[in-house]
Each structure stands twice: as structure tokens, then as C-alpha cells.
Structure 1
Amino acid sequence: MNDEQRVASNGFEIVPCDAALGAAIRGVDLKRLDDSTFAALHRAWLDHVLLVFRGQSLVAEDIVTLVRRFGTPVTSSKLHQRSLDERTSSAALNLPPEITVVSNVRDGGKAIGILGDGEVVWHSDFSFKERPTAARMLIGMEVPPRERGGNTVFLNCYAAYDALPGELKRRVSGMTIKQADIVDTAMKVRPGMSLDMDIRAVPGPSHPVISTHPESGHNMLFLGRRHGAYVNGCSLEESEALLQELWAHGTQPRFCYEHRWSQGDVVVWDNRATLHRRDGFDPESRRVLYAAQVEGHRPYEAPDALSRPAHPRSQHP
């Protein structure tokens, strides 16, 4: 954190992270948000892309109330078009359907949540849907000691776009990428799919490479997921070459913020403007996060996208 960047607003502090995105919020109890405070937090969320709240003590009902502040909640079971019990043990844990459990813990040999303790690759959530989610949050209910891993790395897609060479921006303007749901973020093949499928024949929505944010008005590099992606109108070789170029540029460390979890942390990020990933961690360490998200929009590239200014967090604060 950079104390020189501390800004007071509505009785709380916004402390930008010394990274390409993110700000720590101090002096806010998320259980007791009034409309004025939330409006200021929402503005900070758009400005900084990701907000970190330490030392919170939210229960399930508080999480549902918070996520509803950001929009219409959507369940993972609805997004995946699978039953809730197949995606998460929320029902078994007597949690509301708005909450997904992300955990490596097993109870009686059965996983209580999703994604286990292995690596989770770069992705934006539900990029394989026509309308990917907007606000997304994770709450640290039980986390490993910091030296045992389990950190989450977030990437600023505004900064990735703004740093693209002008020639490449002009080249990809108007292009779209198909996002097919072939593998999950732990690289497990989805039922009915295989890694040797011709991506051109696999159904999936197409999203613009240059995506304009409907609230901030700035442009983002929409990458979604590397696997199951295809640049429409290209040969497979051309598509792979362009995707490789975009991903090599977009996932540079200079665009990232790494979050080291503590119990009680609440991280709220703009899924439309980010990617995130996780390294594998010690399987003997218990890790339980609660996740929730809200409905998003259909991504689009504004007609004047190439002339729009850079996002304020495209450079470190």
C-alpha cells in the first residue's frame, strides 16, 4: 500500500494498492452499509477495479445482502446449467443459492466445494456465457497460513488494453473471439467435450477483443479463457498465433495484483475488467471461500472505442 495515495471519502479511507489495480478500504463495516457509503464504494470499485476489505465477519445473509447492492445475483448452478448439488454443496451446508463454496475440504470423502487445491488458470468468470458476470466477490471464511499458498492473482484488463501497441489495437478492432466451455478453470474437461474437438464447430458466444465498459466508458482487452477460444474469421493457425500474441501481452506481471488471503477478507472485483488465477497450495491446509456474483451485460465494442482515453488505473497510482 502507498500511504501517500490515501483518500478520505464518506468517513472511510481508500488506499490504492501499489499494483496495477486494487484499493484497500478502511473504516467500513460491510454489515452496516448505508446508501451514501455504498455509492462512494461503487465509485471506488469502478475507479480501482478491485476492492479489499480486511477483518470483516460476514455470515451468509450478509453476503447475499452485499451482492444484491451490486445488482441481480446469479447462481453458479444457473450459469453452468447444472444442478446446485453438482456445482457446490451450498444446499447441503444450508447456504442460500447465491453463494458458491470454493474449497479443498472434504466431508466424509465428498468435496464440500469446487476447485480443490490445484492450480486455477487465468480466466474471467463465465466468459463462455452470452452475458458474463459483472461484480464478483470472494470471502475468506477459512484460509491457509500465508506461507502455504492459496493466493489469488488478479489482472487489470483496462491496463492490458491501454498498453497494446496502436497497430495491434487497430488490427483487432472489430474482431471477436468465440468462448467455448470445453474445460473448466482447473483444466478438467467438461462432460461431452474433448481437447481434440475442432473449436470452430463447438458452440459458444463470441465476444469482442476490445470490450467497452458500460459504466466507466473505458476499453478493456477481453481475453476470457485461453482454452476453448477461437478468433472468428481466422484459420486455426492464424487464430492461435493471434491469441498467443494477445495472451503473452495481456498476462504480464505489470498488470497484476496478488492477494494474500487472511480470514475475514472480502475481495470484490469487476469481472468484466479482470482476469484472475490461483496457484496450487498445500493440500493439508484447509481453504474455504464463499463466492457470489451478479448478472452482467453482453460485451460490445463502442463505435469510437479507438479514440477513448485510458482508464485511470492503467498506470500505478
Structure 2
Amino acid sequence: MKIIALPNALGAEVVGLDLTREIPEADFQMLYQAYLDHLLLLVRGQKIGDDDLLRLASRFGELMLPPAAHERSGHQVSDAPPAITVVSNVKVNGLPIGELGDGEVVWHSDYSFKEVVGGMRVLHGVKIPPAEAGGTTWFANMYAAFDTLPPDLRQVALQRAIRHDTAYDTNRNLRMGAKPGESSGPVHPIVNTHSETGANSLFLGRRLAHAIDGLPAGESDRLLDAMWQHATQDRFTYEHHWRQGDVVLWDNRCTLHRRGPFDARQERILHAAQVKGDRPLRAPDAHSRPPHPRARAVVEAQPA
């Protein structure tokens, strides 16, 4: 097994790994360290099933059930296990087999609307349309985004927290039973000091209906818009062009991701599993923590 860093702000390709087999402990420790070091790992050409995907995910921690699992019977048809999220535009007898369709999915981190947020997230490309159909996925390094913040935004980030909205999903649609303006979401610090790496990252969650706690709406929107504009610059990102059998896993605690739209005439199926993370926490000495190694090159490239 080899770990080859990608020439981007995050990511590494894992070569020589067969996910249909149990990963030896020594190899898994190497894999897990690479996950912490590079934020995202890519394994190409895997012919795996849901059991293999769940076995891989469970090595990273406790599995986290999709929050929409209780809704699946009402508007989805799928034979996937409960711990698997099906991401697809395919319909059977007029009902979707999964979620998110074929439109654009905006920048977000998964399960930021929970007290304990998502940790490792893994996606398997079960059925991937041709590259020209679209549907690439972007990932952004939030360690680098924090460490390059302008001084005024950095000060706000180190002092404030965001109330995370529970009413809207990543398609900007109201969740089942939710009402606008009636969110009971958690308050998380804008800066998360990673529980394993000890480095700081921005933790923004998603933009729609979120607000900086304790600030007037206008001031909150101005600051959040500025943080999002900064955090999603191309220099912090990796764009993944999917191939059949790709497995991509990433650390949801220190990244954002989004998907571009794709040709609605093309069938696209991905299966996902999620591991429980932890509650975001800003360390008392967050203001003086050094950059994460994968953010250092971005920081050093920033003009003085």
C-alpha cells in the first residue's frame, strides 16, 4: 500500500489497497494517519458492496445513521442497509431510490446541525455517468481557510459561534416537518480545534439560514458572507472527477464539499456511510496554534 499526495490543497491517493478484504492493522494505522494528514483519501477501481463499505467505515469509528432514514419509506425506495445513504437521481416506479437528485448541491459539511457532528464520510461510486455529464465533487481545506483569514475575520472567528439551522437540507429545501425560522439547531464555535490533530479549522456548516450567535442579522450576514467567500476560494480546493468504483473518504470536521449538477438523462448512483465525529470545540489557546501541515504550503504562499 502506498499513499501519494495529490497536488492540491488536500487529498492523497491510496494505491495497492483492496477494500473487499480486511485491512491488516498495520496498514489501517497507516491509512488512518494519512486521513488525518491529508483530510481526504481516494481509492480507485474498487468492486465492493455495501457490507465492504460499512466494514471500512466502522474501522474509523461508530457508524452514524442518516438523519433522513425515518423519511425513506415515505418518498424513497431502496434495499440498501439503514446505515447507507443512497445519493442518486434514479427513480423506480416514479419514486427516487436516493436523495439529492441531479441538481447542484451547495457547499456544506455533513450533520453540522447536530450537537455531535459527522466525522469520517465515505462515498462509493456505484454507477458513474461519463465525465462530460458533469457531477464532479469539490472539497475544501478548512485548516487552510482559517490560517489565511484576514485579521478582522480571524478575530471574529476566534470569538464567535454560529447557530446552525436544522430546517433546510443541502438542496436548500425544507426538511420534512420543518418550518422556516423555527430552527432549534446547536451553537458551534466558528473555529474548531481538531480533537486529533490539534490544529484549527473553520467550521461553517452551511450558509442558508445560519447566523452568528448574538449579532444583529445584518452584521451576521455580512460577516458570514465574507467568511464563505474566503473559505471557498479555488486555492483551498480539490475537484474530484468520478470514475466507476472510486471510493473517496474525508474528514468532515475540517472540510467542506459540494457537487456540481449533472445531465438528468444520465443515471448516477453513489453509496455513502458516515462515522460519528465529536462536538466542535475551540481550544483556549486556539489563537496561537500552528497550521496543520497540509495547510502550511497554502499559508506560506499567501502574500504578506
- Give the TM-score normalised by the residue count of structure 1: 0.90
1:311 to 289, 292, 296: 292
Instruction: Give the residue type in structure 2 aligned to 1:257.
Output: Y
1:41 to 16, 28, 31: 31
- When the two chains are superposed, the root-mean-square deviation of aligned CA atoms in Å is 1.6
CA offsets per residue over residues 146-182 of structure 1, 9 Å max, x none? 1110111011111101111234322321310000122
CA offsets per residue over residues 72-121 of structure 1, 9 Å max, x none? 10110xx34734424754xx42x221111100011111101000100100
Residue aligning to 1:157 = 142
Residue aligning to 2:70 = 82
- State the Cα distance separating 1:134 from its structure 2 match: 0.1
Residue aligning to 2:16 = 27
In structure 2, distance between residues paired with 1:300 and 1:314? 19
In structure 2, distance between residues paired with 1:45 and 1:87? 35
In structure 2, distance between residues paired with 1:214 and 1:17? 24
1:254 to 235, 247, 256: 235
Instruction: Give the residue type in structure 2 aligned to 1:280.
Output: P
Secondary structure of 2:248's counterpart equals strand
Contact 2:4 2:13 (8 Å CA) reproduced: yes
Instruction: Give the residue type in structure 2 aligned to 1:108.
Output: N
Secondary structure of 2:20's counterpart equals coil
Residue aligning to 2:265 = 284
Residue aligning to 1:148 = 133
2:196 to 203, 215, 237: 215
- State the Cα distance separating 1:190 from its structure 2 match: 2.3
Cα distance change of structure 1 residues 85 and 15 upon mapping to structure 2, 3 Å threshold? same
CA offsets per residue over residues 288-310 of structure 1, 9 Å max, x none? 00000011111110001111100
In structure 2, distance between residues paired with 1:53 and 1:191? 35
Contact 2:139 2:238 (8 Å CA) reproduced: yes
In structure 1, distance between residues paired with 2:74 and 2:143? 34
Secondary structure of 1:82's counterpart equals helix
Secondary structure of 2:283's counterpart equals coil
Residue aligning to 1:229 = 210
1:61 to 51, 55, 62: 51
In structure 2, distance between residues paired with 1:244 and 1:301? 21
CA offsets per residue over residues 210-234 of structure 1, 9 Å max, x none? 1110001000001101002010110
| More displaced 10-residue stretch of structure 1: 245-254 or 45-54 | 245-254
In structure 1, distance between residues paired with 2:116 and 2:256? 16
Residue aligning to 2:302 = none
Residue aligning to 1:108 = 93
Residue 14 of structure 1 pairs with residue 7 of structure 2: no
In structure 2, distance between residues paired with 1:150 and 1:117? 8
Residue aligning to 1:7 = none
In structure 2, distance between residues paired with 1:180 and 1:87? 23
Secondary structure of 1:268's counterpart equals strand
Secondary structure of 1:134's counterpart equals strand
Secondary structure of 2:118's counterpart equals coil
In structure 1, distance between residues paired with 2:69 and 2:220? 29
Question: 5+ residue gaps in structure 1?
Answer: 1-11
**Count of equivalent residues:** 297
- Give the TM-score normalised by the residue count of structure 2: 0.94
In structure 1, distance between residues paired with 2:76 and 2:24? 31
Cα distance change of structure 1 residues 249 and 61 upon mapping to structure 2, 3 Å threshold? same
Contact 1:19 1:316 (8 Å CA) reproduced: no
Instruction: Give the residue type in structure 1 aligned to 2:70.
Output: R
Residue 117 of structure 1 pairs with residue 86 of structure 2: no
Contact 1:20 1:315 (8 Å CA) reproduced: no
In structure 1, distance between residues paired with 2:136 and 2:60? 25
Residue 245 of structure 1 pairs with residue 229 of structure 2: no
Secondary structure of 2:253's counterpart equals helix
In structure 2, distance between residues paired with 1:115 and 1:214? 30
CA offsets per residue over residues 220-258 of structure 1, 9 Å max, x none? 001101002010110011111110111111111111000
In structure 1, distance between residues paired with 2:259 and 2:162? 24
In structure 2, distance between residues paired with 1:14 and 1:101? 28
Percent identity, aligned pairs only?
A: 47
